[in-house]
Chain A
Amino acid sequence: MQAGTSLSCDVLVIGGGATGAGVLFDLAQRGLRVILAEQNDVATGTSGRYHGLLHSGGRYAVRDPESARECIEENWIVRRIAPHTIEDTGGWFVAFPPDDPSYIPRWLEGCKAVGIPTEPVSVAQALKEEPHLNPRAYAVYRVPDAACDSFELIHTLIEAAAALGGKTLNYHRVCAIEKAGGKVIGALLENRRTGGYVRVHASAIVNAAGPWAGEIAKLAGANIHMTHDRGVMVAMNVRWVNTIINRLAPPGDGDILVPVGTVCVIGTTSVVVDRPDDVDIPAHEVTQMLDAGEVMIPNFRKARALRAWAGVRPLYDPPQKREGEAEGGVGEDGRFITRSFRALSHADVGAAGMLSIVGGKLTTYRQMAEKISDEVCAYLGVQAPCRTAETPLPKPTWFGGSGRKLHALTHRLHQLEHAPTHSNLICECEIVTRSQLEAAIRASGEGVSLDDLRRDLRLGMGPCQAGFCGYRAAGVLGETAHLPPARSIEALAAFIEERFRGNRPLLWGHQLRQALLDEMIYRRALGVPALQSEAHVAAD
């Protein structure tokens, strides 16, 4: 493997999720030269596959007080430093039959112990504020939950770091960690779009690869005992509530409902899986989510399920801890492992200077970044203190410095209504115009996939799931990027399969009918050929 290019920096950060982006910004702010390497696009792992909840910590107040405390501390900080990524919906913990009333005093006590403010709400008041709530609810408490857009947060951190010289390489996979004299000296990266190699010389390496942390550690000869815990989430096309609803009961399946933009997201399950990329969605887990939704919101499943996705929680599960487990044990269900985080050094395997950060929640990304950055600085002998808790993050600029928030449907409607565009609507569900699509294609450079454009623009994320806009976007991509027809058609086939992967578990009723319509368009009217290599689909 010959490295075509070589780069050098003080610290190489591996993983473009919230933690990696947080470390990139933290270290850049401390004056270090930092490079972040991400194997896909940023925010496509666990951070991009969550339900959109900035935890108050209430979910963990009884069983996992350490994590609960971290959540509430960071909740206040994230609200302060990145308010533009947050919709302050507030949250409730609500007990419904058959939830055990004896859990309530334990929960209140747990919240009090770690400093989570709770305020009782009368059921009558709750039903006034949220008329869709199941009227059989018997106890309601207000907590400081919020909805948080992780894409927005991560892009904000990456832009803020870039302004300080922090560099992000997406679609770069780490294929080797290089060591000399008992310490790490750099890594070899493969550019997955061009197939070329990049050698990065670094004095320290931070492994923030989330569920892939075990694989990355292995490259340095270290062994981290990770548990991959898969959770399924389902987005419904109705914003049933304006407040986040948590079940006031021990953590269980489908106990959180988060309003996000025009939809709401219910989550989640907890199933231990073998691989970090096992994001399959069994049909019965979706039905389980809908059943759980019915408990909180009667007729929940009458709304249309738009999209299901699964994220793999990177839980740190040190073998010695398993002995003293109090309740249950780790089996099918990863709920008994702490959601707290750990920083691990790999000096013992001759990889001094490589540190792994494992476990944790999106809510606590900053604290995780602070802790690992402190250790990196200690190793490098750098004296700079962490200032991320006090530094407000600038709003990102996005395409053409417009400063607009990504993914906001209402904002786009407003723009169109106030300045009728001289441009086609390509994706009618999400109001994506041809000029927006062209700008995004030009900004993304060579090898951009329709799925990359989807994350930038929300292309194909509405009810038709790319049935209509997939072909149009492939046409615009071909014209704008001057692709040969075969490449545009392959991009279309890859996009169709990517959309289908998240849609397939939701195919019944109207959504099934929609999929059959899409299939008739692709298969009969257009004759889209089946994707040749399945590896391509998996990679996207």
Chain B
Amino acid sequence: MDDLLIIGAGWAGLSAAAFALHLKPNAKIRVIAQGIGSLIVTPGWLSLLDSAQGDVIEAARDLAARSPEHPYALAGVEALTGAVHLFAQIGAEIGLGYQAEQPLHNKQVLTALGKHQTAAVLPYGYQGATQAGVQPLFVGFEGWRDYYPALSGAHFTLVAPPISERPWDLTPTDYARYFDQPHFRAEVARLVKARLNGATSVAFPAVLGLEHHAEVVQTLQDRLGVPVFELPTLPPSVPGTRLYNKLRRYLLDRRVRLQVGHPVVRGVREGKRVTGVEVAAAGKPQFFGAKAVILATGNLYGGGLFSDDHGRVWEGIFNLPVQHIPDRQAWFSAQMLAPEGHAVHYFGVRANAHLQPLDASGAPFAENLFVAGHILAHPTDAPSPFETSEGVALATAYRAVQMALMQP
């Protein structure tokens, strides 16, 4: 039997496992997941409250006070602070950056369309964007379908990738692996240097290394003599894949059991306690017992929630009730990019301040079951869940781990 079983290996699930190691170093921890959730599409930075002006934590505190059902209010702002600083510590250990200064302020980063996005904590690749200056040079690769620097800004260039294979149909991950090779990044630096032409910084698509990210960014900056930064790409997201790979190694090295690709088919509850879960396996489902379970399977996108054409929405493992609108017509706004977002973003499981999910009567579903991440419902008057995306995942993971590790 494990002390803690975490279902899900996205932002919330992996962070929960890492936090649990720090909060109780000898605990037996297991992560079981079907896939890696939204890490495959995440830009990789931490959005805590994108609209916050000034101190982000103080703004989150105001939000929690205004909106007592918000995940920040349930988890508590202390959980957010604790989570962000612990994540920054781990981020430095695994070589990806994510420094969180105090007080914490939002920063502007750039996208492949030359648009500004906001985030509070950045991995190495995006840090240079804050010093982009007046004339960033956008660099793409000739013949590559996944990045078009002409859409990013006025100063752009296409370089021929110094590779022997045909360049078409390469994925962002393929390019990231090339950047891990010292001669490739040296050659790219040489090609770009010849075209700098007074550029104040240089932007690449977010493919600057998979295993040796910090080194790649450092080499390019040293050779080019100006800040270098990344622009998020089409999936698969290299910053997300880096984070997954590095956290996976980090957890495995510390004896966390990590099973990805194994869908949990059913949760088992006896009386007021969850005893474990059944996992799909050859022959018949296999049972894993645990003293406490954290459900971090994600929202309708992440794979924790399901929906059908009759307007039903359900949770797939414990069949928890999901807060949603039964009229399917109201799920989405008229336009995909409507500034107000879509009602579906707010659907999710309701929980109390211990992050225990609630059953239909409003009572905790079980004493030792906790929820973390985007499976949680957001109150409809809350800012877009995109604005608090990683903040909610980390804060609720932190709080859920605190509660779960108190289980007898």
With contact pairs A286-B309, A517-B301 given, residues A472 and B113 touching in the complex (Cβ less than 8 Å): no
The answer to whether B308 touches A475, judged by C-beta atoms less than 8 angstroms apart, is no
Chain B residues with CB under 8 Å of A489's CB are 113, 151
Within 8 Å of chain B (Cβ to Cβ): is A161? no
Interface centre among B116, B237, B300 (most CB of A within 10 A): B300
Q: Is A426 an interface residue (CB 8 A)?
A: yes
CA distance A474 to B233 in the complex (A): 14
Complex formed: what's the CA distance from A521 to B152 in Å?
16
Q: Are B152 and A485 in contact (CB under 8 A)?
A: yes
Which residues of A419-469 have CB atoms within 8 Å of chain B's CB atoms? 422-426, 434, 468
Known: A287-B310, A512-B300. A524 touches B43 (CB 8 A): yes
Q: How far is the CB of A481 from chain B (nearest CB, A)?
A: 11
> Are A530 and B168 in contact, CB atoms less than 8 angstroms apart?
no
B331 touches A516 (CB 8 A): no
Binary B-proximity of A488-504 (CB < 8 A = 1, otherwise 0) = 11001100110110001
A537 touches which of B166, B237, B335 (Cβ 8 Å): B335
Residues on B with C-beta less than 8 A from A64 are none
User: Are the C-beta atoms of A522 and B337 separated by less than 8 Å?
Assistant: yes
Docked pose: A512 CA to B393 CA in angstroms: 21
| Cβ–Cβ contact A425 & B169, under 8 A | yes
For the complex, what is the distance from the CA of A520 to the CA of B144, rounded to whole Å?
22
Bound-complex Cα distance A441 to B114 (A): 24
A478 near B: Cβ within 8 Å?
A: yes
Asked if A384 lies at the interface with its beta carbon under 8 angstroms from chain B, I say: no
| Contact (Cβ within 8 A) B301 A516 | yes
A523 within 8 A of B: yes
A488 touches B145 (CB 8 A): no
Contact in complex: B332, A507 (CB < 8 Å)? yes
Chain B 11-30 interface mask (CB, 8 Å, partner A; 1/0): 00000000000000000000
- A91 shortest CB reach to chain B, Å: 27
Q: Which residues of B contact A287 (CB under 8 A)?
A: 309-310, 328
Question: In the complex, A380→B153 CA distance in Å?
Answer: 59
Choice from B145, B303, B309, B389 contacting A426 with Cβ under 8 Å: B145
Instruction: Report the minimal beta-carbon distance from B172 to chain A, rounded to whole angstroms.
Output: 11
Known: A424-B169, A425-B169. A283 touches B328 (CB 8 A): yes
In the complex with contacts A283-B328, A287-B310, A516-B344, A423-B337 CB distance below 8 A: no
Can you name the residue of chain B whose Cβ is closest to the Cβ of A433?
A: B168
CB distance from A288 to the nearest CB of B (A): 10
Docked complex Cα distance between A530 and B329 (Å): 21
Complex Cα spacing A197 to B281, Å: 69
Q: Is B150 an interface residue (CB 8 A)?
A: yes
Contacting pair B335 A531 (CB below 8 A): yes
Q: Which residues of A are found within 8 Å of B134, using beta-carbon distances?
A: none
**A471-B115 contact given A425-B169, A507-B332, CB 8 Å threshold:** no
Q: Is the CB–CB distance between B152 and A497 below 8 Å? A: no
CB distance from A180 to the nearest CB of B (A): 45
Asked whether, in the complex, the Cβ of A522 is within 8 Å of the Cβ of B168, the reply is no
Tell me, in angstroms, the Cα distance from A526 to B235 when the chains sit together.
11
Q: How far is the CB of A457 from chain B (nearest CB, A)?
A: 15
The answer to whether B300 touches A530, judged by C-beta atoms less than 8 angstroms apart, is no
Partner of A472, one of B116, B146, B336, B389: B146
- In the complex, the chain A residue whose C-beta lies closest to that of B232 is A525
Nearest chain A CB to B10 CB, angstrom units: 13
Complex Cα–Cα for A282 and B153 (A) = 41
Kindly report which residue of chain A lies nearest to residue B310, judged by CB atoms. Answer: A287
Query: Contact: B328 with A529, CB < 8 Å?
Result: no
**B148 in contact with A479 (CB, 8 Å):** yes
Contacts A282-B329, A301-B309, A528-B337 given; does A485 touch B150 at CB 8 Å = yes
Are B309 and A424 neighbours in the complex by a CB distance under 8 Å?
Answer: no
Assess whether A519 is in contact with B336, with CB atoms less than 8 Å apart.
yes
**Residue of A479, A513, A519, A522 touching B150 (CB-CB under 8 A):** A479
Contact A508 B337 (CB under 8 A): no
Whether A509 is near chain B, meaning CB under 8 Å from some CB there, is: yes
**Residues of B close to A528: CB separation below 8 A:** 113, 115, 337
Q: Which of B145, B148, B299, B329 contacts A478 (CB 8 A)?
A: B148
* A422-B145 Cα distance, complex, nearest whole Å: 13
Residues of B within 8 A of A215 (CB): none
**What is the size category of the interface that chain B forms with chain A?**
35 or more
> Please, which residues of chain B bring their CB within 8 A of the CB of A400?
none
* B332 contacts A524, C-beta separation under 8 Å: no
| B residues in contact with A527, CB < 8 Å | 111, 113, 115-117
Answer yes or no: A153 CB below 8 A from chain B CBs: no
Nearest CB in chain B to that of A482: its residue: B150
The answer to whether A509 and B148 have CB atoms under 8 Å apart is no
B298 CB to closest chain A CB (Å) equals 10
Q: Would B234 and A523 count as touching, CB distance under 8 A? A: no
Kindly state whether residue A277 has any CB partner on chain B within 8 Å. no
B386 to chain A, nearest CB (A): 6
Min C-beta distance of B126 to chain A, whole Å: 12
CB nearest to B109 among chain A residues: A527
A518 at the interface (CB under 8 A from B): yes
Rounded to whole Å, the gap between the CB of A368 and the closest CB of chain B is: 36
Q: Is the CB of A472 within 8 A of B145?
A: yes
Assess whether B241 is interfacial by the CB under 8 Å rule. no
Q: How far is the CA of A496 from the CA of B237 in the complex (A)?
A: 21
Report the nearest A residue to B149, measured CB to CB: A475
Q: Is B339 an interface residue (CB 8 A)?
A: yes
A312-346 contact mask (Cβ, 8 Å, vs B): 1 or 0 = 00000000000000000000000000000000000
Tell whether B307 is near chain A: CB-to-CB under 8 Å: yes
Collect the chain A residues with CB atoms within 8 Å of residue B308's CB.
508-509
Residue of A nearest to B336 (CB): A500
Contacts of B115 in A (CB 8 A): 526-529
Q: Could you say which residues of chain A place their CB within 8 Å of the CB of B41?
A: 517, 520-521, 524-525
Instruction: Decide if B328 touches A508 in the complex (CB within 8 Å).
Output: yes
Query: Are the C-beta atoms of A509 and B233 separated by less than 8 Å?
Result: no
Neighbouring B residues of A286 by C-beta, 8 Å: 309
Determine if A189 is an interface residue (Cβ-Cβ < 8 Å): no
B112 CB-CB contact with A under 8 Å: yes
Q: Mark B165-198, 1 if CB is under 8 A from A, else 0.
A: 0101100000000000000000000000000000
**Complex contact B151–A522 (CB within 8 A):** no
Bound: A519/B38 CA distance, A: 12
CB pair A525–B233 under 8 Å, yes or no, is: yes
How far is B328's CA from A84's CA once the two chains are assembled, in angstroms?
41
Q: Check if A520 sits within 8 Å of B111, measured CB to CB.
A: no
Given contacts A287-B310, A525-B232, whether A530 and B335 have CB atoms under 8 Å apart is yes
A525:B237 contact, CB within 8 angstroms: yes
How far does the alpha carbon of A520 sit from the alpha carbon of B309 in the complex, in Å? 22
The reply to whether the CB of B406 lies closer than 8 angstroms to some CB of chain A is: no
Q: B234–A468 contact, CB under 8 A?
A: yes
A158 at the interface (CB under 8 A from B): no
CA distance A528 to B235 in the complex (A): 16
CB neighbors of B among A262-312 (8 A):
282-284, 286-287, 290, 301, 305
Shortest Cβ distance from A224 into chain B, in angstroms? Answer: 31
Q: Point out the residues of chain B lying under 8 angstroms from A497, CB to CB.
A: 335-337
Contact for A525 among B43, B148, B150, B332, CB less than 8 A: B43
Structural contact, A526 and B152, CB atoms closer than 8 A: no
Instruction: Name A527's closest neighbour in chain B (CB-CB).
Output: B115
A19 → chain B closest CB, angstroms? 32
The answer to whether A496 and B337 have CB atoms under 8 Å apart is yes
Residues in B whose Cβ lies below 8 Å from that of A474: 148, 151
Whether B143 is near chain A, meaning CB under 8 Å from some CB there, is yes
Contact call A526/B386, Cβ cutoff below 8 A: no
Instruction: Say how far A528's CB is from chain B's closest CB, in angstroms.
Output: 6
**A509 CA to B316 CA in the complex, in Å?**
12
Q: B117: which of A425, A485, A513, A524 is its contact (CB, 8 Å)?
A: A524
CB closest residue in chain A, given B111: A527
A529 and B308 CA atoms in complex are apart in Å by 30
The 4 closest A-B pairs by CB, nearest first: A475-B148, A527-B115, A500-B336, A516-B301
A-B contact list, 12 entries, CB within 8 Å: A424-B168, A472-B234, A475-B150, A485-B113, A499-B336, A507-B331, A508-B328, A516-B301, A523-B386, A524-B42, A527-B113, A530-B339
Known: A305-B309, A509-B308, A520-B41. 6 other contacts (CB 8 A): A471-B234, A475-B150, A485-B150, A488-B150, A516-B299, A522-B336
